[in-house]
Amino acid sequence: MHAQNRAQQPLRMLVPVPAGGTSDLVARLIADRLREDLGRPVVVENKPGATGRVAIAAFKSAAPDGTTLLFAPIALPVIGPLVFKAPGYEPAKDWAPVAQVARYEFAFAVAADHPARTVPEFVAWANVNLPRASVGNPGAGSLPHFLGAMIGRVAAIELVHVAYKGVAPLEAELMSGQIAAGISASSDLIPLHRAAKLRILATSGAERSPLLPAVPTFREQGYPSIEAVGWHGVYAPTGTPQALIDRLSSAIVAALQTPELREKFTALGLEPTGTSPQALAAIMAADTARWAAIIKASGFTLD
C-alpha cells in the first residue's frame, strides 16, 4: 500500500539554480525521461540562492521515501564543503548517491592577439610579465577559480586571480585583453574560439575534448597533474531504501543511453555518463580528495 501511494506522489527534483541555464535544462531533460519511465509525475523545483544552500536546506528536510531528489553540480557535494567555514551539510553523510548524469571539461584561453599559443608559452610569458599575469574565472569559489590556482601551483607562476559575476563579463574582458587568460567550461568558450575572438590553449580532461579535437590537453603539454572535470549528479536523502535508489538510478542510466538525450547533452557541451550509485560515491570522494589540497593552499573561504 505504501509503495502504491508513493508511486502516485509527484517526485520532486530540487535544482539549486534559476530556470533557464544549462544545469536547469539538464535537470529538466532527466525529469522528462523519469516521468515516462517511472509513470509518475516528476516536478522540477528551482531553489536558487546562498550558493546552493537554499536547495540543500529543502533537501535536508525531505523524507527519505523516494519522493525527493537533489540535482547537484560538482560545486555542491565537492567544492562547497571545502570552502564554507560552516557549510551546514555533509554530502558523504547526508546524501545518498543515485547517479552521475554528465561530465564536462574546462578550457584555458587567451585573447586572440596574445603571443602565447601553447601553455608552456603562456607560462614563459607570465614569468616576465608578472603584474599582467592575470587569469579570470566566472565566480569566486568556482571550480575554474581553483583550476587557475592549480595551474599557478603546478607551473610555479604567480597568477592574479580575477573573479567575475558570470561568464559574460569574463568573456568580454578576456577578448579585450583586460585579463591575460580565462577559464570556464569549454562549451562557454568554444563559440568565441571558433570565431577567432579568443584562443583556447588547453582543455582540462585526461584526453582531448571531442568538441575541440585540435586543442591539446594540459597533460599533452607537459603538465600531467593539471586535470579537472566538472559533473552533475543526482542524490536522494540518506535513509532512502536501496531498492528505490537502484530503481531511480536504473531509470537515469537508461535515459542517458537514448540517442535523443545523448544528442541533446552533446549539443550542450556535456558528455552523458550515467553511473551506479557506488560509482558516483567514488567519484565524489576522489574529487574531494583531489581539490582539498588546492583549496586549502589557496586560502580561500566563504562565510
- pLDDT tens digits, 133-167: 999 999 999 999 999 999 999 999 999 999 999 99
pLDDT recorded at residue 1: 41
Evaluate the CA torsion angle 218, 222, 226, 231 in order and state its sign. positive
Kindly state the percentage of the chain with pLDDT values over 90: 94
Q: What is the mean pLDDT of the chain?
A: 95
User: 178: pLDDT confidence band, cut at 50, 70 and 90?
Assistant: very high
Instruction: Note the pLDDT of residue 16.
Output: 96
pLDDT at 45: 98
Q: What is the DSSP string of 171-212?
A: HHHHHTTSSSEEEEEHHHHHHHHHTTSEEEEEE-SSS--TT-
pLDDT (tens digit per residue) in 21-73? 899 999 999 999 999 999 999 999 999 999 999 999 999 999 999 999 999 99
Q: What is the pLDDT averaged over residues 250-267?
A: 96
Its pTM stands at: 0.92
pLDDT confidence band for 303 (50 / 70 / 90): confident
pLDDT at residue 7, as a whole number: 59
**Between 6 and 93, where is the model more confident?**
93
Return the exposure string of 60-81: e unless at least 16 CB atoms fall within 10 Å of the residue's CB, then b. Answer: bebeebbbbbbbbbbbbbbbbb
pLDDT at 207 over 90: yes
Mean of pLDDT values over 259-272: 95
Query: Can you list the domains of the chain with their CATH numbers?
Result: 2-103+229-298 (3.40.190.150), 104-221 (3.40.190.10)
Between vectors from CA 229 to CA 160 and to CA 97, what angle results, nearest 5°?
A: 125
pLDDT over 70 percentage in the chain: 97
